[in-house]
A and B are shown apart, each in its own frame.
Chain A
Amino acid sequence: MATVTVSETLKTLAKDLNKDYPRSPRETLGGYVIAGRTLDKCRAVLNGSQGEYHFNCPLDRLFLDFSGIDADEFKAYVATGASDEEVGEWIKSHAKQQERIEVVRWNNQQRYSTIKELPDQLQLFMEDYIAEVVPAGKVVYHWFDVYDIEEKRI
């Protein structure tokens, strides 16, 4: 992986994920769900404040693989200190989707998938993860709930 130069602006934008949470995967950036969260984690990794979070994790890969965006290119652009709006525009100009409905369909597929609709490997991972991070009495209806419950947004 190429060395990335981190701008001073990036440091002011990066969250400290030891103390704060990345955005919900439901929030959109450049029109894509997950992408806002991916950006928060990417900035934090570049800033050394990622805590236990990982950039380019299986959740990020869903966004990156669907959009056709290369993780290293994304990271290099984020390292310039680009704002949310700038990253949103960059995503739109680099993603392979031409029609908005393609993105909306994919967004809804992610938003409204239940755990039983996920790939086997993800179901296997989530089996223990949910037991570990979702409090008793909280119900996971859709996949994104796992993150929103864990991070106390819902």
Chain B
Amino acid sequence: MSTIPAEENSLSTLAKPLTPKDLSKAPPRSPREMLGGYVIAARTLDKCRAMLNGTQGDYNFGHYMDNLFFSFSGISATAFKAYVATGATDEEVADWIRLNARQNDPIEVVKWNNQCRYSTPKDMPEPFQLFMEDYIAQNVPRHRPVYHVFDIFDLEENRL
């Protein structure tokens, strides 16, 4: 799984006190939750804030799922992180995403959201499938079937 290079991770810290989540104690939001109209983005934000705060636990900002959002929206992870570091609220980050994303037509975002929501692991690129083969076995409770990719995270984090 790709992650942001280490030098980019030392870019900045949160400028305003926002009480980021401690991801060693509570998981980030579900990838199904939306921010600025995009699935994944709220989870990406939680991980970004926590990483800036040094409370990321085992989570990584710049993970494969984050990069799905960054690649599609055309937003750079570095620019996102710098804005989040100002202490922007969820609403402010959502507005910033809408302003900086390259999509102009809402249907583009809706189609992508649905592509993400309803993909199964077999629809994903091979490196993702290889990674998830062991990850699911290790992290998803037995006899809790994964139907869609997002289920992996919702099952692991006890939302389903």
Interface residue ranges, A against B (CB under 8 Å): 24, 26, 28, 100-101, 104-105, 107-109, 111-112, 141-142, 144-145, 148, 153-154
* B121 CB within 8 Å of chain A: yes
Which residue in B120, B133, B145, B146 is a CB contact (below 8 Å) of A104?
A: B133
Cβ B129 vs Cβ A101 within 8 A: yes
* B137 CB within 8 Å of chain A: yes
Cβ B147 vs Cβ A107 within 8 A: no
- Bound complex: CA A83 to CA B137 (Å): 21
Q: How many A-B residue pairs have CB under 8 A?
A: 42
Cβ B133 vs Cβ A107 within 8 A: yes
Cβ B130 vs Cβ A104 within 8 A: yes
Interface residues of B, count at CB 8 A: 14
- Bound complex: CA A107 to CA B137 (Å): 13
- Bound complex: CA A109 to CA B126 (Å): 12
Cβ A108 vs Cβ B122 within 8 A: yes
Cβ A26 vs Cβ B145 within 8 A: yes
**Residues in B whose Cβ lies below 8 Å from that of A101:** 126, 129-130
Cβ B133 vs Cβ A142 within 8 A: no
* B143 CB within 8 Å of chain A: yes
User: What per-residue 1/0 map shows which CB atoms of B130-154 lie under 8 Å from chain A?
Assistant: 1001000100000111110000000
Cβ B145 vs Cβ A144 within 8 A: yes
**Residues in B whose Cβ lies below 8 Å from that of A111:** 120-122, 146
Could you list 23 A-B pairs, sorted by A, with CB under 8 Å?
A24-B143, A100-B130, A101-B126, A104-B129, A104-B130, A104-B133, A105-B122, A105-B129, A107-B133, A108-B120, A108-B121, A108-B122, A108-B129, A109-B122, A111-B121, A112-B120, A112-B121, A112-B147, A141-B147, A142-B147, A148-B145, A153-B143, A154-B144
